[in-house]
Amino acid sequence: MPTATAAAQTRAPALLAEGISKAFMSGHQRTQVLDGLTLSLDAGELTLISGPSGCGKSTLLAILSGLQKVDSGRVRALGSELGQLDLRALERFRLQHTGFVFQGFNLFPALSAFEQVELPLNHMGLSRNEARRRAQQSLEEVGLAHRMRLRPSELSGGEKQRVAIARALAKEPELLFADEPTSALDAANGQMIIDILHRIARTHGTTVLCVSHDPRLVVHADRVLAMEDGRILSDQRPPTPAAQDNGIPS
Ligand SMILES: Nc1ncnc2c1ncn2[C@@H]1O[C@H](COP(=O)(O)OP(=O)(O)O)[C@@H](O)[C@H]1O
Ligand SMILES: [Mg+2]
């Protein structure tokens, strides 16, 4: 990243999408998924995107993380115009600056929790020692230090998702994307996962963008964007959980 503009970039939004559109063709049928969508995200916050199934949430995450191209509009992430990067540069951008957490955990059945977290770090060119240090630290941060020798089949759903979060976190990404990370979990585990993501945003200054249609998660986010018809319909900051819980038993 160029240093001359670093000061200006700290004030710029971490992620900015302006008027992005995306359509898919299937046969003769054209589906306009994103339709001039604009959004701006700041570092250090957990933003939740809600919206009905099929409204384009996963497509939006894929575009904002540089995995898919827009038809029109532009995406500026951490000072880079993603549309101007070639495939190699995009791949490097994703590897160095983004982390992803999915609904289905995406863990390798044969690897221990520690190995799952360590593996991508080796691809980033970190030394063996640094990779191990980060893997250990990230697993501690999600409360799994005592389970790190176990494989996915020996872990609960909530624990598996915490391994996946540790794997993303260990890369020390500026941008962390989570696509329905709590959908496969019960309420208590879902809440724990969203709280971990929220804490990561606050303590690491990470820009966390989480997609979910679970209304129970809303109060755990700094900001909630409702998506419909390919655009952001509303942009709200829910009251903090502390204010909500204030003396009122649920
Ligand atoms: N690669 C693709 N090719 C064709 N259609 C797609 C593709 N990806 C997504 N779609 C369509 O785009 C719409 C939005 O999908 P998606 O972004 O997965 O929505 P959501 O995550 O909100 O459920 C759906 O109608 C889906 O079928
Ligand atoms: Mg989806």
Question: 81 pLDDT band (50/70/90 cuts)?
Answer: very high
pLDDT at 1 over 50: no
Task: Kindly list the domain boundaries of the chain, sorted by start residue.
Answer: 35-239
Pocket probe for ligand 1: among 33, 48, 229, the residue whose CB has the most ligand atoms within 8 Å is: 33
Q: How far apart (Å, rounded) are the C-alpha atoms in residues 62 and 111?
A: 26
Pocket of ligand 1 (CB under 6 A): 24, 26, 31, 33, 51, 53-59
Q: Which ligand 1 atom minimizes the distance to the CA of 53? A: 23
Find the 232 Cα to ligand 2 centroid distance in Å. 16
Q: What is the pLDDT of residue 178?
A: 97
Q: What is the pLDDT of residue 11?
A: 66
Question: 241 pLDDT band (50/70/90 cuts)?
Answer: low
Q: How far apart (Å, rounded) are the C-alpha atoms in residues 176 and 241?
A: 22
Which residue type is seen at 128?
R
Q: Which ligand 1 atom minimizes the distance to the CA of 60? A: 17
Say which residue the tokens 């359509």 belong to.
23
The CATH code of the domain at 35-239 is 3.40.50.300
Q: Among 8-17, 68-77, 109-118, whose mean pLDDT is lowest?
A: 8-17
Ligand number nearest to the C-alpha of 51: 1
Say which residue the tokens 């820009």 belong to.
207
Question: 121 pLDDT band (50/70/90 cuts)?
Answer: very high
Q: What is the pLDDT of residue 179?
A: 97
Mean confidence (pLDDT) of the chain: 91
Q: How far apart (Å, rounded) are the C-alpha atoms in residues 167 and 39?
A: 27
pLDDT at 69 over 90: yes
3-state secondary structure 80-92: EEHHHCCHHHHHH
**For atom 14 of ligand 1, which residue has the closest CA?**
56
User: What does the pLDDT look like over 155-186, one tens digit per residue?
Assistant: 999 999 999 999 999 999 999 999 999 999 99
Which helix (H) or strand (E) segment holds residue 19: the answer is: strand 15-26
Would strands 207-211 and 46-50 be described as parallel, antiparallel, or unpaired?
Answer: parallel
Q: Looking at the chain, list the stretches that DSSP marks H as alpha helix, in order from N- to C-terminal side.
A: 6-11, 57-64, 87-97, 113-123, 128-141, 157-169, 187-204, 241-244
Q: How many helices (H) and strands (E) does the chain have?
A: 8, 10
Task: Report angle CA 18, 210, 104 to the nearest 5 degrees.
Answer: 125
Q: What is the pLDDT of residue 170?
A: 98
User: What does the pLDDT look like over 190-225, one tens digit per residue?
Assistant: 999 999 999 999 999 999 999 998 888 889 999 999
The residue count of the chain comes to 250
User: What does the pLDDT look like over 54-64, one tens digit per residue?
Assistant: 999 999 999 99
